[in-house]
Each structure stands twice: as C-alpha cells, then as structure tokens.
Amino acid sequence: MSANEFDVLVIGEGLAGVVAAAAAVSRGAQVTLASTGPGRFVLATACLDLDRIVADGSGSVAYTPQELKEAVSFFADFSGRAGCAYEGSVEERRMLPTVMGTFQTVSLAPRSIWQGDPRSMAKAVIVGIEGLSGFDADFVAERLFFHTQQMGLNTSYRSVTIKPPEDLPRPLTTVEIATRWDRDPAYRAAFTDKFRSVVSDAELMILPGVLGVKSDDNDFKHLEEKIGCAICELPTMPPSVPGLRLLRHFERQLVRIGVEVITGFSVQKLCIDGDRCTGAHLDVPGRPRLIRADSVVLATGRFSHLLERQQSHDSSPRPPTQVDDELHALTIAGDVVPTNLFECGGALGKFDPLHGNAIAILTGHQAGILACETEVNYAAR
C-alpha cells in the first residue's frame, strides 16, 4: 500500500465530520463519510464564536493557538470553495443580531450573516414577512434598538412587514419560502422588488433566513446589487435555512473533492481487530453493508453517540468521551483500544453545547490529519 492509497472512514455529517473528511482528503486519503442524518446543521445559527473556546479552554482537548488558526483557515478556505465563504478570522469579533433581538459575538460567519454589526452602519431596516411563523420584525427592531442604545450606539432600526408574492398555506415556514425562492425565478424577482421598495435609505436590510437553500455567494452579491444595500439573514427556528444551505454546499463540495457520502443509514457496529479498527457495518435494508477503512474518525456528536460508555437507563446525560492528546478514544479505564480510531466534535470533553462549532472545526481538522498520519506510519512500519 502506498502512502497515497489509504481509506479513511468518517462517521457523522455534522461540522466536525465535514471538516475531518476534507482534511483527510487534503492529506491524500480516499474518504468515505457515513452518517445517519444531517448533523446539527438544521439547528445551526451558522456563526462561529471563538471566544468561548479561548476563554474556557476546551476540556479534554489540547491545542495551541497556531493549531486553532490553521484549522479555522482550512475551514474558511473549504467553505469558500463550497460557495458559501465564511468571512472573519480568529482575531475578529463582530456583534451580530439574533432573531430574539439580541447580539452575539461572532468571529466568523457566512456572507449572508456577516454584515449585521451595528457599529458599521447607522440605519437598518428589518423586514418581516406576513404569515411567517417565528419572526416578528417589530419585536426584533425594538429589542435591537434597545441594545444598541445600551451600548451607546446611534444605529436606528426601522421595521416593515411585507406580503409574500404568492399565497401559501398559513402559517408559513422559512423552508417553504426558501423552497419557492429556489424553484421559481418569478417568485425571486417579485420578492426582490418588494425588498427594494422598502429599503429606501437603509444601509442594511435584516430579514429572516429565507433566501433559498441553493443560493450561493454570487447569488447574494447579485441580490445586494439589485436591492441596493447589504443583507443580513437571521437564522430562525429549526430547520434553519442558512444551516440547510451550508449542509447542501458542503456536501456537494465533499463529493467534488472525491468523498463518497453515504447518508441515511446508521452505523451498526465498528469492526475491531486487536488494536485496529478495520471498518464499520452500516444498517442498510437487506443485510449490513461493510465499509472497510485503514483509519476511522468518529464525529457522531453527543446527542446520538455511537460508543456507549455506561450501561445506564436513567435519563442523566452521557459523560463526555475522553481522548488522549492524539484524539484516540479512551475506555473508562483510560486505555486506548484501537490506535487508528479518532474522536472529534461534540462528543468531546467539556464545552458549552451552544458554542461547539469552534471545537468541531479544531478537532475535526486534527482528527482528519491524525487519521492519515497514523496510517502513513503504520504502512511504513
């Protein structure tokens, strides 16, 4: 086996799994990504908050600032190629509005969200959509105004609610609008006209995340040119359209760089042979499907985690998985079992469950690389 021909299996299609798969490809691996479902993307705000990981440390995950920087820049580059580029950097801190009318500190976010900082403009218009559940433009405007006043800023927020161009059943969801947006050019054009007519002198238009699941960076650029001001989408209740959009673009980018993506089937068991994990069985109709691999990355998240660490039937949350410095999963007794099995993402260590994105990117990047290095070392031996 040459160093360029080894198989890495990544289990889980959340942010950690996506980054791990891309990182393994960048190190020359042939990668299969298997997942039961779309990870946390449907719940995603799509924003990266690096403050938490920097302030709290990251529990059982050891890293240097340089490693974090490399992982983040790898991810930003990947997202750009996928067509939804993350803007910002490890050093940057922006205050971006939320659907609840508060501000969150964000280091990186996709273009459609990145421009909402009140410190960079004086006038914003918040556009609501009649019949849409879970978004109230008046409420958001009032709260954002209150918060900017508290911060001593003079940004003004005006709210306006527009009628959607086509009568859809009520209550409307963001996914329904996004679907129409994707499918019907006339619907897009009619919405764009409505946006243009309410913007007037605002520098920024804030609206719920409805602008299509298929839209990419170019589409947003063109839309901003047409309506004459910057856009900031607010991710709403799940399923979040900006999250679905990221998933769609990331998945397609993975396929473009040669990853085989198998979604919809859970992993039944890992194949452990001595100190090696040789693959996994997928639970597909008929009979289990065996995916062989030279190394395996677990990016299964905390919620539907693969490795049962305790036989417990109470409702207490599972303890986090412990790993060593090289992200090997450890048993309760602290032993490494398979030397080519790596863990990353939400299942790891103590971290704020609301701000796991940074951990996912950091450890996903590391696990993808370690999965390749261990294989190269093993082949050399």
Partner 1 sequence: MRHDDRTLDNCIKCSDCNTACPVMKAYPAFPGPKVLGPDTERFRKEGVASDTRWVEYCTGCHGCDVACPHGVHVSELIAKAKAQHTKTGIRAVRDHWLARPAFLGTLCSGTTPFSNAIMGLKPNRWLMSSMADITAERPFPAYSSKPLTEADGNVNRGQKVVFFPGCFIRYNNPEVGRIVVELLRRNGFSVEVATASCCGMPSMANGDKAELMRCVEKNVKEMEPAVARGVPIVTACTSCSYALKGDYAHLPEGSSGFAASARKLSSNTYDLAELLTGLLNAGKLNVDFRATPLKLAYHAPCHLKSQGIGRPWLRLLRAVPGIEIEEIKADCCGMAGTFGFKSEKYPISMDIGQELFDGIAAYKPEFVVTECGSCQMQIAHGTGLKTRHPAEILLEAYQNGTSTRVAV
38 vs 97 by CB, closer to partner 1: 38
164 vs 368 by CB, closer to partner 1: 164
- Distance from C-alpha of 297 to C-alpha of 7, rounded to nearest angstrom: 11
For residue 186, state whether it binds partner 1 (rule: CB under 8 A).
Answer: no
Q: CA geometry: angle at 48 spanning 44 and 52, to 5°?
A: 115
For residue 215, state whether it binds partner 1 (rule: CB under 8 A).
Answer: no
Residues from 353 through 372 that contact partner 1 (CB under 8 A): none
Name which position in 70, 138, 216, 283 contacts partner 1 (CB under 8 A): 283
For residues 68 and 53, is the Cβ–Cβ distance under 8 A?
yes
Tokens (6 digits) for 339? 């030397």
For residue 187, state whether it binds partner 1 (rule: CB under 8 A).
Answer: no
Name which position in 190, 265, 309, 352 contacts partner 1 (CB under 8 A): 265
Name which position in 26, 28, 30, 43 contacts partner 1 (CB under 8 A): 43
Tokens (6 digits) for 360? 């996912």
Stretch that binds partner 1, among 116-124, 146-154, 172-180, 369-377 (CB under 8 A): 172-180
- Distance from C-alpha of 110 to C-alpha of 276, rounded to nearest angstrom: 39
For residue 197, state whether it binds partner 1 (rule: CB under 8 A).
Answer: no
- Distance from C-alpha of 355 to C-alpha of 360, rounded to nearest angstrom: 9
Torsion (CA) 334, 339, 340, 342 in degrees, nearest 10: 20
Judge residue 234's burial from the number of C-beta atoms within 10 Å of its C-beta, 0-12 exposed, 13-18 middle, 19 or more buried: buried
Sheet containing 156-162: give its strands across.
Answer: 156-162, 123-129, 204-208, 230-234
Tokens (6 digits) for 324? 């060593």
168 vs 198 by CB, closer to partner 1: 168
Name which position in 274, 286, 317, 334 contacts partner 1 (CB under 8 A): 286
For residue 226, state whether it binds partner 1 (rule: CB under 8 A).
Answer: no
- In whole angstroms, the minimum distance from the beta carbon of 285 to partner 1 comes to 4
- In whole angstroms, the minimum distance from the beta carbon of 213 to partner 1 comes to 8
- In whole angstroms, the minimum distance from the beta carbon of 166 to partner 1 comes to 9
157 vs 181 by CB, closer to partner 1: 181
For residue 219, state whether it binds partner 1 (rule: CB under 8 A).
Answer: no
- Distance from C-alpha of 82 to C-alpha of 254, rounded to nearest angstrom: 8
Residues from 234 through 263 that contact partner 1 (CB under 8 A): 238-239, 244, 252, 260, 262-263
Closest by Cα among 338, 308, 302, 358 to 12: 302
CA distances from 200 to 37, 160, 203, 227 (A): 42, 12, 9, 9
- In whole angstroms, the minimum distance from the beta carbon of 267 to partner 1 comes to 11
Length of the chain: 381
Name which position in 50, 85, 108, 175 contacts partner 1 (CB under 8 A): 175
- Distance from C-alpha of 3 to C-alpha of 7, rounded to nearest angstrom: 10
- Compute how many residues bind partner 1; rule: CB under 8 A: 33
For residue 39, state whether it binds partner 1 (rule: CB under 8 A).
Answer: yes
158 vs 305 by CB, closer to partner 1: 305
Stretch that binds partner 1, among 105-113, 127-135, 175-183, 326-334 (CB under 8 A): 175-183
For residue 131, state whether it binds partner 1 (rule: CB under 8 A).
Answer: no
β-bridge partners, 233: 207
Q: Give the number of other CB atoms < 10 A from CB of residue 331.
A: 11
CA distances from 123 to 118, 141, 159, 221, 232 (A): 9, 11, 11, 20, 13
Name which position in 3, 26, 28, 42 contacts partner 1 (CB under 8 A): 42
Name which position in 159, 179, 363, 366 contacts partner 1 (CB under 8 A): 179
157 vs 250 by CB, closer to partner 1: 250
For residue 212, state whether it binds partner 1 (rule: CB under 8 A).
Answer: no
Binding region for partner 1 (CB under 8 A)? 35-39, 42-43, 168-169, 175-176, 179-180, 183, 213, 238-239, 244, 252, 260, 262-266, 282-287, 289, 304
